[in-house]
Amino acid sequence: MLSILAAGCSSSPTNDSTGSTDSTDSTDSTDGPVTLTLLAHESFTPTPGIFDAFTAATGITVEIVLSGDTGQLITKAVLTSGNPEGDVLWGVDNTLLSRALEADVFSAYETPNTTFMDASLLLDIPGHEVTPVDSGDVCINYDIAWFKSRNIAPPLTLDALTNKQYANLLVVPSALSSSPGLAFLMATIAEFGTDGWQPYWKSLRDNGVMVVDGWTQAYNTEFSGASGKGDRPIVVSYSSSPPAEVIFADPPVDAAPTAVASLTCFEQIEYAGILRGTKHEAEAKLLIDYLTDLTFQNDLPLTQFVFPVHSGAVLPEAFTKYALRPENPLRLEANVIATNRTAWLDEWSAIVLK
């Protein structure tokens, strides 16, 4: 039995990291075929084989390494700054960007594809340390059927959530432990100002808001409009959640069962960047170009439920039909978030979690 175990233990189930063992022939790079390691959070789920075109064109193989959720990804990147675990990082968003920039995690690069991006996406990164790759909105989602059956108008603004008629109907993920939860807190700060958000949250608390640990619990367990069939018809989620409900519906449905209150949305921008200290900087630049090119960008909506940044990208029908992209989502500048985030989180948890 021991020899079987030894054999099993020695034939590892993985590819080891650096140093390519792949057979792709390269005519491109100077010292043999190169494998780039792309670090991402666990929601990074492009179509398998999406990088084949890239490998065919450049001879570079891409190995995807998933690293837990965004918070873990950033924490590890900060700790290994200058001696990174990979070459390119995907998945730092505008609420966490400051942590990465302070720790000098990235190597600046401006891809030519920025000409295809909306100027508002580039506001927070004048130094081009990172490149925008997708965007989304964190918004209040509500269960259409629930409100219809009781003949109540659904809440359309942040202010409305404090009305008595919506008492005990809202579930939100904690701003401490959840990225959409944090984005929702940011939305309220953007809406009510740095002095007005505390009274707002006090009223939310008095109106019976349920705070749970993560988005999964809020959406998949407590929300009435999704698979968990919970008790609460109002939840914090994404502007791409209604199309997701249609796409994954079984049996198929004609109309989205949930809708978004577009006046409550906070814009989330996701970035990718070259990790400082990588040994393959030239190849990493090529990968950043590819990630912002049409092939990859068109894959984004149906695999990761986010919106592409390339203005020429095509949205699938389910998205154009059922997704509502707000014209003017709420925004906060990244350096404002950077200075105040810890203090805001401490204050928020004192108000809401006690």
Partner 1 sequence: MNQLAKSSIMLSPYKSSARWLWIAPTVFLILILAIPTTAIILRGATFEGFRDVLNNSTIKQALWFTAWQALASTALTLIVALPATFVLSRFAFTGNRALQALITVPFLLPTVVVGAAFLAVFPSQLHYTATALIIAHAYFNLTVVVRIVGARWEQLHPGIEQAARTLGASPLTVFRTVTLPLLHSALATASGVIALFAFTSYGIVRTLGGPARATIETEIYTRSVLIGDMPGALALSIVQMIVLTALLWWWAKRHRGESVSPQISVAQRAPSTRGQVALVYGIALATAAVVIAPLSALLWRSLTRTTPGATRFTLSGWRAVTSSTTLGAISTSTLFALCAMVIATVLGLMVALGVAYGSPRFVWLERISVLPLTVSAVTIGLGILITYDTAPYDFRSTWIITPLAHSLIALPLVVRIVLPVVRQIPRGLQSVASTLGATPLQTWLTVDRPLMSRAVGASAAIAFAISIGEFGATSFLTRRSSETLPVTISRLLSRPGDALRTQAYALCVIIVVISMIAIFLIDMLRPSRKAK
Is residue 97 within a helix (H) or strand (E), and if so which, with residue range? helix 97-102
Q: How far apart are CA 216 and CA 178, in angstroms?
A: 9
Which one of 52, 118, 206, 231 is in contact with partner 1 (CB under 8 A)? 231
Residue 314 near partner 1 by CB under 8 A: no
Could you give the string, one character per residue 176-195, with x where binding to partner 1 holds by CB under 8 A and - elsewhere? Answer: xx------------------
Nearest in space to 97 (alpha carbons), one of 268, 214, 251, 233: 268
Collapsed DSSP state (helix, strand, coil) of residue 126: coil
Phi-psi region of 37 (alpha: psi -120 to 50; beta: other; left: phi over 0): beta
Which one of 20, 29, 66, 207 is in contact with partner 1 (CB under 8 A)? 66
Which tokens in the block code for residue 59? 């001879």
Residue 18 near partner 1 by CB under 8 A: yes
Could you give the string, one character per residue 240-259, with x where binding to partner 1 holds by CB under 8 A and - elsewhere? Answer: -x--xx-xxxxx-----x--
Residue placing its CB nearer to partner 1 in the complex, 211 or 330: 211
CA 64 to each of CA 11, 44, 259, 307: distance values in angstroms, whole numbers, following the listed order: 21, 9, 34, 21
Q: How many residues bind partner 1 (CB under 8 A)?
A: 70
Residue 62 near partner 1 by CB under 8 A: no
Which one of 94, 113, 174, 278 is in contact with partner 1 (CB under 8 A)? 174
Which one of 20, 220, 298, 340 is in contact with partner 1 (CB under 8 A)? 220
Residue 137 near partner 1 by CB under 8 A: no
Task: Collect all residues with Cβ–Cβ distance below 8 Å to 328 and sequence separation of at least 6.
Answer: none
Residue placing its CB nearer to partner 1 in the complex, 153 or 248: 248
Residue 351 near partner 1 by CB under 8 A: no
Residue 148 near partner 1 by CB under 8 A: no
What's the closest the beta carbon of residue 120 comes to partner 1, in angstroms?
26
> DSSP of 160-182, one letter per residue?
GGGSGGGTT-EEEE-TTT-HHHH
Q: How far apart are CA 51 and CA 41, in angstroms?
A: 17
Q: 105-108 long-range CB contacts below 8 Å, 24 or more apart?
A: 105/77, 105/78, 105/81, 105/273, 105/275, 105/276, 106/130, 106/273, 106/274, 106/275, 106/276, 107/273, 107/274, 107/275, 107/276, 107/277, 107/278, 107/281, 107/284
Q: What is the DSSP letter of 212?
A: E
Nearest in space to 231 (alpha carbons), one of 298, 301, 284, 168: 168
Stretch that binds partner 1, among 42-50, 124-132, 163-171, 192-200 (CB under 8 A): 42-50
Where do we find the tokens 């409009």? 225
Stretch that binds partner 1, among 24-32, 127-135, 226-234, 289-297 (CB under 8 A): 226-234
Residue 31 near partner 1 by CB under 8 A: no
Stretch that binds partner 1, among 129-137, 174-182, 197-205, 324-332 (CB under 8 A): 174-182
Which tokens in the block code for residue 108? 């600046």
Residue placing its CB nearer to partner 1 in the complex, 112 or 251: 251
Residue 28 near partner 1 by CB under 8 A: no
Residue placing its CB nearer to partner 1 in the complex, 6 or 118: 6
E strands along 59-209, which residues?
61-66, 88-93, 106-107, 131-143, 170-173
Q: Interface residues with partner 1 (CB under 8 A)?
A: 2, 5, 8-9, 12-18, 42-43, 45, 63-69, 71-72, 74-76, 78-80, 83, 85, 96, 99, 145, 174, 176-177, 211-217, 219-221, 226-229, 231, 237, 241, 244-245, 247-251, 257, 305, 341-342, 345, 349-350, 353-354
